[in-house]
Amino acid sequence: MERNKATHVFVVSAPSGTGKTTLNRRLIAEHPTVEVAVSYTARPIRPGETDGEHYHFVTGEAFRGLIKRGDMLEWAEVFGKLYGTPLSEIRRIQANGRSVILEIDVQGWRQAKEKLSDACAIFILPPSVAALWSRLERRGTESLDVRWRRLMTARHEIASGPLYDHFIVNSDLGNAYRELEGVIIRGKKPSLGADEGRALCLHLLAEFDSAPWIQKLAQEISGA
């Protein structure tokens, strides 16, 4: 794989709780040649968030106006809230001579894939479904029902693994960072091959379907 162009676009997706944001924030802190595209959202700003840093916070009317004008690369309604990436954000970063990191989910990449044919798509995976659930629990900020919905969303996302070019397993944050840095900064392939990454996706899906703890949790959620 050749060294990446200065204004290349990288898509980084991962199930919630896999460490995507932590990895990307470290990468842009250490490498000023890359920048994360700041998404737009129509949800209210939360304590500790800064407009223009965490998101561009806009009204629902303004967000839908961007959609109607065709100014959104991708957008989605997630848990009742609108999120999306405007094309202008990508152009702004490239105009400054930096590579773009698009921190979007699987359905966002499905929308953007045809428009970004030269993008490099990276999928960050947990080592197991049990490890992913443990990370969601450690957050301690969401109800059991919300955590369950995130877990089921993760199953859907992992099933879409074939959409991606590269796979990185975040079983150790330091190692995962070096893998991500290698792909984006040095143009290297990760240690996990594409076929191995897709095989891991299948293994994780099998865990979703057969793990007794998941079946027990499903019964608890349903009130059985």
- DSSP bridge partners of 48: none
pLDDT per residue as tens digits for the range 139-190: 878 899 999 999 999 999 999 999 999 999 999 999 999 999 999 999 999 9
Task: Please state, in angstroms and rounded to a whole number, the distance separating the CA atoms of residues 144 and 137.
Answer: 8
The pair phi, psi for residue 152, each rounded to 5°, is -70, -35
- The SS3 call for residue 222 is helix
**Which residues 6+ apart lie within 8 Å of 193 measured at CB?**
none
Tell me yes or no: is domain 9-37+99-222 CATH 3.20.19.10: no
Q: What integer pLDDT is reported at residue 114 of this predicted model? A: 86
Query: Do residues 121 and 13 lie in contact, with contact meaning Cβ atoms separated by under 8 Å?
Result: yes
User: CA 13 to CA 10: how far, in whole Å?
Assistant: 10
What per-residue confidence (pLDDT) applies to 1?
32
Q: CA-based angle 157:161:165, to the nearest 5?
A: 135
Distance CA 181, CA 183 (A): 6
Note the pLDDT of residue 47.
Answer: 94
The answer to whether the beta carbons of residues 147 and 137 sit under 8 Å apart is yes
The parts of the chain modelled with pLDDT lower than 70 are 1-7, 224
Least Cα distance to 132 among 219, 21, 16 occurs for 16
Q: Tell me the one-letter amino acid at 5.
A: K
Q: What angle do CA 156, 180, 157 make, to 5 degrees?
A: 5
Q: How far apart are CA 224 and CA 209, in angstroms?
A: 18
3-state secondary structure of 50: coil
* pLDDT digits 0-9 by tens, 152-161: 999 999 999 9
Q: What is the pLDDT of residue 7?
A: 62
How much is the pLDDT for 223?
Answer: 78
* DSSP assigned state of 156: H
